[in-house]
Structures are given as structure tokens and as C-alpha cells.
Amino acid sequence: MSASQTSDVPTLLVKIFGKDRPGITAGLFDTLAAYSVDVVDIEQVVTRGRIVLCALVTQPAGAAEGELRATVHSWAESLRLQAEILSGTGDNRPRGSGRSHVTVLGHPLTAESTAAIAARITSTGGNIDRIFRLAKYPVTAVEFAVSGVETGPLRTALATEAAQIGVDVAVVSAGLHRRAQRLVVMDVDSTLIQDEVIELFAAHAGCEAEVAEVTERAMRGELDFEQSLHARVSLLAGLDASVVDKVRAEVRLTPGARTLIRTLKSLGYQVGVVSGGFTQVTDDLQKRLGLDFASANTLEIVDGKLTGRVTGEIVDRAGKARLLRRFAAEAGVPLDQTVAIGDGANDLDMLNAAGLGVAFNAKPVVREAAHTAVNVPFLDAVLYLLGITREEVEAAGLS
């Protein structure tokens, strides 16, 4: 029966709630089947062992409605369940135009922050149609299906609210493309890995503090990246090339990095990295992690020594966005189906060019400009922004 056919048809909303056990859903519909009703809608939720089952069915003819009500209540009582039956007409009212998925991450997720997000959705003219938990650890992640407001204004409103209450919120348009094959491109230093690679090299050259200060100023957007890169690399002149292997061994992946990549790859995503660091490290990461794409600057090595220079095209702020577009073209993925993840000012062009730009534990200027921010120390939390559940993550780990 189509939506137009049910719009004026008398219907019954049958609600069952109580302790969950096998066979409740089958039992309810077996009971209803004796009255030849049609099923218009079904919703079922189980939370901490308690079931709420709602069935919207057409109203049986004549006096059969009273018999149906009595039979359903008797069946429910036999299982120590509660039943409620409400008369009405038709189905749910049509959802408003403009549909979005709103993902909220909390560590923990408090009632206060949930109330604030829900209230802000309402204030924009949006309606919450459904709420679903994506994960309970290492963060709590819930998803709101929202209609009645366009994605852009909703994202802007919730970004402001999220910053004020200290939760992470992502807003993406609903549609089939959300789970279509995508491309995820991420920064390396302080994103995929916990370290700044040039600082690892600098530690071996005895100039770590000086390099770290310049790096921090560059990440805050206070210095031109290319100038700062040349200044820092020049301090490495004379280092023996054997330091490359030592630095590779010192690199620490961000918690959740392997899980993120493994899960994305199992779901058909392509994954790449772009870095203002060095191919001497990113090439090794590409091999270890099975990345599809990788691009970075290259330290010049002559006669077994670092010269203090880089060779080839510089991967800077504009270069990262350019590489995102190149990777997307090679992968055959539309740019609006790409995801970019980064933490520094030199990631901003890439984050803005992507369909979804994620600021990961980022500097304030980056958090304010990106589509969404993740401020928990687990890189795999990004998966929940894509609508991927913890169960799917765990299944990918077993495959």
C-alpha cells in the first residue's frame, strides 16, 4: 500500500514495551495476523535489555478492532509486557525538506550537552526524526537524523553550539553518497602520528628546541610554511643518512590510526596522506599501513649526508589541497565525496576543499574554519562522523 493510499486510512499504533527476549516481534505480528491487517510502519529499539516495539497497522473492519485490542493485551500480559494501542489516521507526517545526519561525540556525552544540541536543532527549524547510537567506546557517539532545515545553516548553528559546550559535532547531508566509496586523505604530523617528524630529525642534530619553536609558529599560521620549512631543514645539514632509519623507528602512530585505516579499507575506501614532512618517513608509513596515496617533501641526501635542503615540489598549504584533488581524480571519487583530516594551518585549504573537512585536535584557527572538529585523542573517532558503527569497526578487525 503506497503512502497516498494510507494517508486517509484508519490505523492503529500498537506499542509494546518491557523486558526483551527472543520471539517478541514474531509473537506480536503472529497475533496481529489473525486480523488481516497491513503493516504500515515498524520501529524497534532495545536499550539495556528493555524493548520498545511500535507497529503501525491498518485498522481491522467492524467489531474486530475491539477483539484485536483484547487479544494483543492478553498476549502482552502473558509475557509480562505492557501494551498500548492508539487509534488514528494514516502514517507519519512527511519529513521536511533538507535532511542531514548530525553526529555528536562526547567523552563523556552529558545530558546537558545533548539537551543543548537538541535545542539548537529545534531553534534552526529542524526536526529530530530518529536518534541512533553509533558507539559507546572509546567515545560515546550518537547520530540524529534531522529534517526541515538545510545542511549548511544547520552545520553553522551546531558548530557554534559545539564549541561552547565542548562536544564534537559533524553535520553531513543525508543521501546514498554518504556510504558510497570515498577517499580519505589525512595530514601526517600530529594527525596520523603523534610526532612532528622534523623535530625527531632535529633531536639527532641537537637543535630540537629551535626547530619546535618554528614549527609551532608555522602551525599557528604566523609564518609562511615554505620559508619555515627551509629554515628548519637547513639546521639538519650534515646529519648522517642513517638517521632516517632511527627516525622511522621513533615514529608513534596516533591511537586509533591503524583501526581507522583498516576499517576504511575494509569498507572500500581509498586512503592517502599528504605531509609537509618527508617522503623518507611517509613512504615507510604507506608501506606499513597499506595506504593508497602518499606525498610529502623529500630531504636531499648527497654522499650519505643530509644537505639541509629539500628537493622537488614543496608540499605546503596550497600543495595539500592540490594533492587532494589529484588523488580524488586518480581514485575516481568526486571531490564532494572526499574527507580530509588535519590539525594545522597548512591543512586549511585541504580541509575546505574536501566534502568533509575534519580538524583533529587542531589549533583554534583550524577548528573554527573546518567543517567539524574532533577533540578526543582517538583518530578512529572520525569513523563515527561517517556513520560507521562500532560494530562495523570491530567486524573489520576480525576480517
The set of catalytic residues is: 187, 189
* Listed residue (379, 181, 177) closest to 267, CA to CA: 181
Helix residue ranges, H only, the chain: 3-6, 24-33, 64-78, 111-123, 151-165, 197-205, 208-219, 225-234, 243-250, 257-266, 279-289, 317-331, 348-353, 364-369, 382-385, 390-398
With b for 16 or more beta-carbon neighbours within 10 A and e for fewer, the 264-290 pattern comes to bbebebbbbbbbbbbbbbbbbbbeebe
With b for 16 or more beta-carbon neighbours within 10 A and e for fewer, the 56-79 pattern comes to bbbbbeeeebeebbeebeebbeee
Cα 359 to Cα 75, 199, 236, 366, 369, distances in angstroms:
53, 22, 30, 6, 9
Integer Cα distance of 193 and 215 in angstroms = 16
What residue type is 119 in one-letter code? A
Contacts of 16 (CB under 8 A, 6+ apart): 24, 28, 51, 52, 53, 54, 55, 76, 81, 82, 83
Peptide bond connecting 108 to the previous residue in cis, omega within 30 degrees of 0: yes
